[in-house]
Structures are given as structure tokens and as C-alpha cells.
Amino acid sequence: MQEHKVLRHPAKLVREEMNAEEIVWRYGQGDRNFSRAELQREDIIQVNLSEANFSRAAFDWANLSGTDLSRANLSRADLMYARLISVKLQEADLSAADLSEADLSWVNLQGANLAGANLSGANLKQTNLINADLRGANLTGANLVGAIFTGANFSRADLSKANLSGVDLTGANMNRVDLSKANLNGAELTGGNFHKADFTRSNLRNANFQDAYLQGANLRRANLRGANLSGAVFREVSISLVTLSEFNLQGANFSSRVDFCSANLTGANLSEAILRNANFGYALLNQTFLMEVSFEGANMTDACLQNADLRGSIFRNSCLSGINLTETIMPDGSLHP
């Protein structure tokens, strides 16, 4: 065997330089401890290294495609720019690992621990993240198209500017997640927990939020054109300056302090929604379906409801100063001049 070089990094982390052949040979002899191994730019392709300990190891720019690392310990490992296509990482420990700009397409990360991991700019296309722990992970600018997230925990993760177009996040825990400027066009978000999530300037066109929990969420300047929010729970939500035209909010619960100030809801369906104490100041509600809506205590100052349908709606204790009701169908069914 070759003589090892001891490398000392700036943070005084001492690593042992190894190569692919040595790792495979030692693993075959029963060795499982490769903590702090230096394997930068190595090709370790389609081999079995399951349950091995690679904590704090360096795999920067390495090619691990097709390798079995299931249940391996890769906590705090460096995997920047690594090629990990189709790698098996189910139930692996990748907590606080650096996977920035890594290619994780088609990887199996089911049940993996990625808490606090850095996945900024990573490619996670078609990745299996079922029941994965991504609490506090950094996924800024990551590509997650086609990934599977059933049961995944993204609590407090950073997904700003991430591409989540068309993904299925049904029932996912997105508590306090940063999704600002993210692309969620056509995403399936049914029943998800988005408590205090930040959707500022995000693309939510045609997204399905049916029965989702959005208490305290920030949707300021988000694009919700064509989105379905029927049955969703909104409390203390900011939706000011948002584009909500042609979307469905039928039966949604906006039971307290929801801010629609200056929002564009042209052509939206809010029938049977609960909008008590909501702020619609200067909002555009032209041609909006508002049948049997509760607007009790709502602020409708200078809102435009031209050609809207208000049949059966309740405006008890609402502020209607400056409201535009031109050719609007009134709660009693009559047509306002």
C-alpha cells in the first residue's frame, strides 16, 4: 500500500489522503472507518460502500455515480461539485454536509438526514426525498424538478430561487421555509404545512394549495394566477400587491387579519370564503365570483368590484368607503347601476 500524506486544512482539519482503489480494497477487508479521508476528484463508481463512515471526508469534484452509500455516515463531508448520479443514499447521514453545486439527479435519499446541509445550486432532478430530513438545509437556487418529497421535513429550510416547477409536496412540512423568488409553477401543495412560509415574489401559477395551512405566510408580490387555494387556511397572511387573477379560493378560510391591500384578484373565485376582518383596500376585484362570502368587519376602502357577483354575501360592519360597485350583482341579487 502507498504511504499516506497528511493534509492540514485552514480550519486545522487533518485529513488522510487516499485513492479509490485503496478505499474499495479496505472496505472489502471489513474496514468501515474512512473518517476524514481525502478523496477529491477520485472516481469511485458503482461500488458498495454502504454503512461506511465518511464523516468529514472530502469528495470535492469526485465521481461517485451508481455507488451504494446507503446508511453511510457522511456528516460534515465536503461534496462540492461532486457527481452523484443514481447514488444510493437512503437513510444516510448527510447532516451539515456541503453538497453545493453537486449533481444528485436520480439519487435515492429516502429517509436520509440532510439537516443543515448545504445544497445551494445542487441538481436534485428526479431525486427521491421521501421522509428525508431537510430541516434548516440550504437549497438556494437548487433544481428540484421531478423530485419526490412525500413526508419530507423542510422546516426552516432555505429554498429561495429554487426550481420546484411541477413538484409534488403533498402533506410536506414547510414550516417557516424561505421560498422567496422560487418557481412553483404547477406544483402540487395539497395539505402542506406552510406556517409562516415566505413566498415573496415567487411564481405560484397554477399551483394547487387545496386544504393547505398558510397561517402567517407571506405571499407579497407572488404570482398566483390560476392557483387553486380552495379549502386552504389563511390567518395573518400578507397577500398585498399580489397577482391572483383567475384563481380559485372557493371555501378558503381567511378568518383573521389577512392583507389583500392593492392585490389583483380579477376573475378569481372566492365564493363561500371566510374573509372576516380582511383588508381589501385598493384591491382589484373586477369580475370576481364572491357568492356567499363573509366580509364581516372587512376593509373595502377604494376597492374595485366592478362586474363582480356578490349574491348572498355579508358585509356587516365593513368599511365600504370609495368602493366601486359599477354593474355589480348585489347580495340581494339586484344589479348595481
DSSP-assigned states of every residue in 166-198: T-B-TT-B-TT-B-TT-B-TT-B-TT-B-TT-B
In terms of DSSP H, where are the helices of the chain?
A: 20-28
Residues 144 and 171 grouped into a single domain: no
What is the residue range of 182's domain? 164-337
Residues 22 and 119 grouped into a single domain: yes
Residues 53 and 186 grouped into a single domain: no
Residues 316 and 209 grouped into a single domain: yes
Residues 23 and 133 grouped into a single domain: yes
Residues 147 and 224 grouped into a single domain: no
Residues 187 and 294 grouped into a single domain: yes
Domain tally, the chain: 2
Task: Please state the rounded mean pLDDT for residues 311-332.
Answer: 95
Cα–Cα nearest to 276, from 289, 294, 263, 293: 294
CATH of residue 66: 2.160.20
| Residue range 81-133, pLDDT digits in tens | 999 999 999 999 999 999 999 999 999 999 999 999 999 999 999 999 999 99
- In the listed set 102, 130, 157, which residue is the last one of a domain according to the structure? 157
Residues 126 and 45 grouped into a single domain: yes
Distance CA 145, CA 125 (A): 5
Residues 192 and 238 grouped into a single domain: yes
- In the listed set 132, 157, 182, which residue is the last one of a domain according to the structure? 157
Residues 182 and 108 grouped into a single domain: no
The yes-or-no verdict on residue 223 having pLDDT over 80 is: yes
pTM of this prediction? 0.78
Q: For 15-19, 252-256, 304-308, 320-324, which range has the lowest pLDDT when averaged over its residues? A: 252-256
- In the listed set 139, 157, 175, which residue is the last one of a domain according to the structure? 157
Distance CA 27, CA 233 (A): 52
Residues 168 and 152 grouped into a single domain: no
For residue 71, is it left (φ>0), alpha (ψ between -120 and 50) or beta?
left
Residues 141 and 243 grouped into a single domain: no
Q: What is the pLDDT of residue 3?
A: 46
